[in-house]
Structure 1
Amino acid sequence: MSEQQVQRKQVQVNGTGLSYLEAGGRSAAPLLLLHGTFWSRVWLPVLPALGTHSRCVALDLPGFGASDGELDVHSATVPELARTVLAAADALGMDRFNLAGHDIGGGIAQHLAATSGRVDRLVLMNSVMFDSWPVPAVERFRDPQVRASMGVNEMLTARAETTRKAVARPLSDDEVADYVSPWKDPTRVRSWMAMAAAADARYTMDLVPALREAAVPTRLVWGREDEFQKITFARRYSAEIPASDLVEVPGKHIPTEDSPEQVAEAILDHLAA
């Protein structure tokens, strides 16, 4: 399967058109993939490989990527975003599903694994967990004055800088432009700032007892040079949460860009177990 066989589609969820990238046959086991402070683009390098095993749906949350809608500080919390993801799963005909989450999307994924009873297997890729978040560059957006002062041009510059820091290999200008393209839209700028303002470690800390009890089979796949979500947290998670293990790969915060073959192999191995 090539990237040309990855299709962008849309589903209506609570009256909002949510965009997603889809790969694989519709009769295959569903794999729902979630982003955090980036968008579904982070999963694109591995979707063709994952699509050989699963019906992959890499969702754009409201106000992110190519999705309609707009998040505010209330709707951007982990529990509220988890409700949105479940509604999307319902609309897509996914009763039970495998689930992968990156960054804050991993926090949403932990919430669903711990509380929904619908997750068969879980993948956390360079995810927030425990009290690893929010990092200072995100936490500052809790201040309404900071949010009010951020325009499109400032956001594009900031996201470009963060994207380059999130990948170990040198990204081309075209790749960076592709990653930051959604934030040319003021609605998506506001949605990103809402997610940043709503970031709170209590959402993942409070889940720890339920995650231990649920013991959903979990694989952590981690770019070991990540400067945003340190691998020490992944090692702690795999040591403390039952039925979890860790695969370390070369790369930083977006290891799908640095080590796509290793990331895909680690995920496929986990899903096939």
Structure 2
Amino acid sequence: MAQTGPALRREEITVGGTGLSVLTCGDPGAAPLLLLHGTFWSRVWQPVLPQLASRLHCMALDFPGFGRSGGELDEAEATIPALARTALQAADALGLDAFALAGHDIGGGVAQHVAAYSGRVSRLVLMNSVMFDSWPVPAVERFRDPAVRAATTGEQLLEARARSTRGAVARELSEAELDDYLSPWHSPARVRSWTAMAAAADSSYTLDLVPALQAAAVPTRLVWGRGDEFQKIGYARRYVEEIPGSDLVEVAGKHIPTEDSPADVADAILQHLAH
């Protein structure tokens, strides 16, 4: 059945001289929600954007060298603090002062950094996010070795991304869906950007954030596919115990629960942001 609801649009902003793509949906006059990705791209948010856009102006950013954005990340630009600066510059370019923020995977680590230090995040959503020492997972950590990065061809990375994407979703993706997810990594610049993000993956960033997150106490909802094999739900439960103002909604699915339980994910986000 064809999806109904607000139309998805691609817009471009300029950050540091680079054109960044933003997948948008909803009334620009509605309350803003900025959404961040990690080792995937803005495609992970696509299934829930029409439902979220019934009440929100949704803006799912592609970081430089990811998704439909231009540019290319190197290792220094792909750390969580550096990506947090990029996210805030993107918020400036979008005309956002205070805003709700959602993050998935490493994008959730970036979102934690922005929430902890910027003073601009009204409410936070973390979906199957890295946190504490939950990351990097072995499939990412191996790329911290320069020899592995140098020896990896674009074709090998594409195959690895295909395996990871299939493993991130409980249901079977169609060939068209999988091709869509993989489409960015036919570009050598995007392959290099992905390996740079993997090389920069370091749990010290999220561990160091804990005191600032506790002090900031930004109202936070964790939305988690309980079958995630990459970011285990035990970390989400620990976050709720240690970070004031946070709660957890578990849904059916794995690492990308927007594909497995889109209505439940969107409901959990909307309920949190309605307060």
Q: TM class, shorter-chain normalised?
A: over 0.9
From 249, 265, 270, the equivalent of 1:268 is 270
- Tell me how far 1:3 sits from its aligned partner: 6.5
Scaled by the length of structure 2, what TM-score is found? 0.98
State the distance in 2 between where 1:209 and 1:156 align.
Answer: 38
SS in 2 for 1:102: strand
Q: Does 1:152 align with 2:154?
A: yes
CA deviation vs aligned residue, 1:123-143 (integer Å, no higher than 9, x gap): 000000000000111011011
From 178, 181, 191, the equivalent of 1:179 is 181
**Contact 1:3/1:44, CA 8 A, preserved across alignment:** no
From 91, 99, 102, the equivalent of 1:100 is 102
- Tell me how far 1:4 sits from its aligned partner: 6.8
State the distance in 2 between where 1:267 and 1:81 align.
Answer: 23
SS in 1 for 2:10: strand
Structure 1 residue aligned with 2:166 = 164
CA deviation vs aligned residue, 1:79-124 (integer Å, no higher than 9, x gap): 0000001000001000110000000000000000000000000000
Identity among equivalent positions (%) equals: 70
SS in 1 for 2:78: coil
**Contact 2:6/2:53, CA 8 A, preserved across alignment:** no
Scaled by the length of structure 1, what TM-score is found? 0.99
State the distance in 1 between where 2:119 and 2:88 align.
Answer: 11
Q: Does 1:238 align with 2:257?
A: no
**Contact 2:158/2:186, CA 8 A, preserved across alignment:** yes
Q: Does 1:24 align with 2:26?
A: yes
SS in 2 for 1:31: strand
State the distance in 1 between where 2:249 and 2:82 align.
Answer: 30
Q: Which runs of 5+ in 1 are unaligned?
A: none
Count of residues in correspondence between the two structures: 273
Structure 2 residue aligned with 1:258 = 260
Equivalence map 1:190-269=2 (5 Å): 190-269=192-271
**Contact 1:33/1:56, CA 8 A, preserved across alignment:** yes
Q: Which amino acid aligns with 1:257?
A: E
- Tell me how far 1:2 sits from its aligned partner: 3.1
Task: Compare 147-156 and 96-105 and name the one that shifted more.
Answer: 147-156
State the distance in 1 between where 2:141 and 2:82 align.
Answer: 19
RMSD: 0.9
State the distance in 2 between where 1:255 and 1:116 align.
Answer: 28
